[in-house]
Amino acid sequence: MRRQIIATTASLAALCVSLPVMAETTLHILHINDLHSRIQPINRFDSTCSAEDEAAGACFGGVARIATAVNAIRGPLEAAGEKIIVLDAGDQYQGSLFFTTYRGAAEAEFMEAIGFDAMALGNHEFNNGPEGLLPLLDGVSFPVIAGNLDVAADPVLAGRVQDHVVLDVNGVQVGLVSALTRDTMEISSPGPLIGFSDEIAALQADVDALTQQGVGIIIALTHVGLPDDIRIAQAVSGIDVIVGGHSHTYLSASDPGRAGPYPLWISNPEGAMVPIVQAYAYSKYLGHLEVTFDAAGDVLHAQGDTLLLDASVTPDADIAARVAELAGPIEAAMGVLVGDTQGVIEGDRSVCRAMECAMGNLVADAMLDRVRDQGVQIAIANGGGLRASIDAGPITMGEVLTVLPFQNTLATFQLTGADVVTALENGVSQVAEGAGRFPQVSGIRFVWDPAADPGARIVSAEVDMGGVWTPLDPAATYGVVSNNFMRGGGDGYAVFAANAVNPYDFGPGLEEVAARYLTENSPYAPYTDGRISMVD
């Protein structure tokens, strides 16, 4: 049942009556984050599950399982008069051929079918520019919010994205505030007309506005990542609960393999404890947080867990049928075999955003192989552009597209050795934060020191010059291949945008390059060779 929206940013100022003081109440929050277009079920490597694995009960998630799990919890609770809301913490977009094909319309359709009550904007919602948000905004009836954005100057989004919202949840008013990572300016394509403000200042202003209107329960629905959620909890007064996304963090109350407890409790400026929750990514888990508030809206107790959506959860039949219908036009392309791999090609974000990884070597090697005859010696790919691993055995085009879903093209240019070092320095500058800028490379090897000062972390670098490893010469000019996103300054690679000589950003698609390389080198043997190392 859709929650009634009783006030938005525009209407709150005109709300002249105080909202009623509530008695002690319990609110159930169901939540997901970072679906990344995993409309279909996924395998253990977070990529699209094969029919064989589905038949063997080895698949997880998918929107049909989300629907079953949500309805199994929501239905009995609503029948008993309980209060429940269903939230999404952003990044529905980007990650499979469903997004590539339907440009966000499929994600919107299934969110409506499941019955979400609100969504926070994620950075990937801007991957196709501001106009790329329209299939989502036009396709859903619930509010999509981001409180630290100023969209007034953008003719596409002006008036379409709310700062905050108040929902009537079975007679109780629940305020939702939101913030989107400011890294969106570098890691996505919001365009020049959208302004970003400090998350903490924006959230505090929105919380204060809701508090002045008498809203007692305030939830921050954010897409900034767990470290920043902790920082927000510590700095912003008046937030009762934080439901987050962006860092793909697996919090659990029951799994010893978790990244942290569910919920994670953080003290706010007044000493009150704020529960923070997140539910990994890719539809593998559904979070369920049960929070009890006193009459003033303060948290008395919170408990819950992330629920694994494995084969024990039967997919909703109607939604599964609709998924199959939409998948029809793209199944043929996804099923094309491009090669075989002798082992797992490791592409997990926790590895590829921090160190040399087998998927990074594959993709960077493929990039360099494609343009080596153009006088290119160095390939640099961003670890954040690698979105999944590939398991051993036959490799389909669908798996390649799951790894490389961004439709990036090869970009070639010349750069001085000094600028190459600057690029590498940027690449290793945010490893602790899990940023996607970490450089996966080919044709170059380097040593870096994570304990060194910013700008001095690259200890040494060598370039493969005709089979001979030669120290990088700061004054020399090298041919470089990257992708068009990075060449335009994405992921902090401003030096590519500012100093590239003779840039050409319109090469073949990165997924095509990787698929062709796999075909030509099948069966492929995944490997790492020490091309990226840290000082002891």
Q: Are 92 and 115 in contact (CB under 8 A)?
A: no
As to burial, measured by CB atoms within 10 angstroms (0-12 exposed, 13-18 middle, 19+ buried), residue 33 is: buried
The single-letter DSSP state of residue 250 is B
* Integer Rg of the chain from CA: 24
pLDDT on residue 4: 67
Q: What is the mean pLDDT of residues 64-72?
A: 98
Q: What is the mean pLDDT of residues 271-300?
A: 97
Neighbours of 497 (CB within 10 A): 13
223-238 pLDDT, tens digit each: 999 999 999 999 999 9
SS3 per residue for 99-114: HHHHCCHHHHHHHHHH
User: Which residue in 281, 282, 279 sits closest to 306, CA to CA?
Assistant: 279
Entry field: residues in the chain: 536
Confirm whether pTM is higher than 0.85. no
**Cα 200 → chain centroid:** 21
Instruction: Tell me: pLDDT of 22 over 60.
Output: no
177-204 pLDDT, tens digit each: 999 999 898 878 899 999 999 999 999 9
Taken in order 428, 447, 462, 349, is the CA torsion positive or negative? negative
334-356 pLDDT, tens digit each: 889 999 999 999 999 999 999 99
Spell out the domains of the chain, with CATH numbers in brackets. Answer: 4-325 (3.60.21.10), 337-534 (3.90.780.10)
Instruction: Tell me: pLDDT of 417 over 80.
Output: yes
Q: What 3-state class would DSSP assign to 195?
A: strand
pLDDT band (50, 70, 90) for residue 142: very high
Distance CA 136, CA 39 (A): 15
Q: What is the mean pLDDT of residues 159-164?
A: 96
Q: What is the mean pLDDT of residues 358-372?
A: 97
